[in-house]
Amino acid sequence: MIKVVLVDDHPLIRKGLSQALNKAEISVIGEASSLSEGAALLNSSTPDICIVDLNLGSASGIELIKVGVVQNPNCAFVVLTMEDDLDTLITAKSAGARAYITKGSPIENLIEVINTVLKDPKNFIKLGSFKDSAKRTDFGLTERELEVLQLLSTGATASTMGSILFLSEATIKSHLAAIYRKLKAANRAQAVSIAISEKLIIQ
């Protein structure tokens, strides 16, 4: 069974997450509400996943990730936060986070990301709507197409992307066709290359 610890300064959020994860047969082995409690928890346990909010009162979850990746190298850090700007996402990724999910995302998505992160430790996953202060060409891509494009860059198959986004494989392929058309890309590699150069995705 997957072992998870929760670090969030809101008791109600921790309670809701704990109930949902336990129903999905994911074991919540500890909870913390602050940076110091989170560090102590990681020091005294061996979780597979640490779900961490970035706002921990006067401290930041980023600091916990930096400490945690050294303390628990086998633990994958999944950020679950209200912060929806790309600069914060990039900072979290640089600190060692393996996934970044905004709190508006369905709990089912979080559960699927937990499973995917453990199966495929090399790739970074982001889910949610994000704001970018820098001007960029969006190519008319929808939020869903941007999510598919982000997953495309990880090398995920249409079937895997469908599982993460709770869409059928046929729907994913339809989104891919639209992405290729809008980016004027001939294939996956070209689409990812354009997306990276135009800062449409975080690589």
Residues 3-46 pLDDT 10s = 999 999 999 999 999 999 999 989 999 999 999 999 999 999 99
CATH architecture of 143-197: Orthogonal Bundle (1.10)
Q: Would you say the pTM of this structure is higher than 0.85?
A: no
| pLDDT of 136 over the 70 cut | no
**pLDDT reading at 101 higher than 70:** yes
Whether 121 has a pLDDT exceeding 80, the answer reads: no
In CATH, which superfamily holds the domain spanning 3-127?
Response regulator (3.40.50.2300)
Report the SS3 class of residue 195. helix
Q: What percent of the chain has pLDDT over 90?
A: 56
Other beta carbons within 10 angstroms of residue 191's beta carbon come to 22
pLDDT of res. 134: 56
Residue 86: which pLDDT band, with cuts at 50, 70 and 90? confident
Residue 179's pLDDT is 94
What is the identity of the amino acid at 137? T
Alpha carbon 202 to its chain centroid, in Å, reads 11
Could you tell me where in the chain the CATH 1.10.10.10 domains are found?
143-197
Residues forming CATH 3.40.50.2300 domain(s) in the chain: 3-127
Q: Give the model's confidence band at 62: pLDDT under 50 very low, under 70 low, under 90 confident, else very high.
A: very high
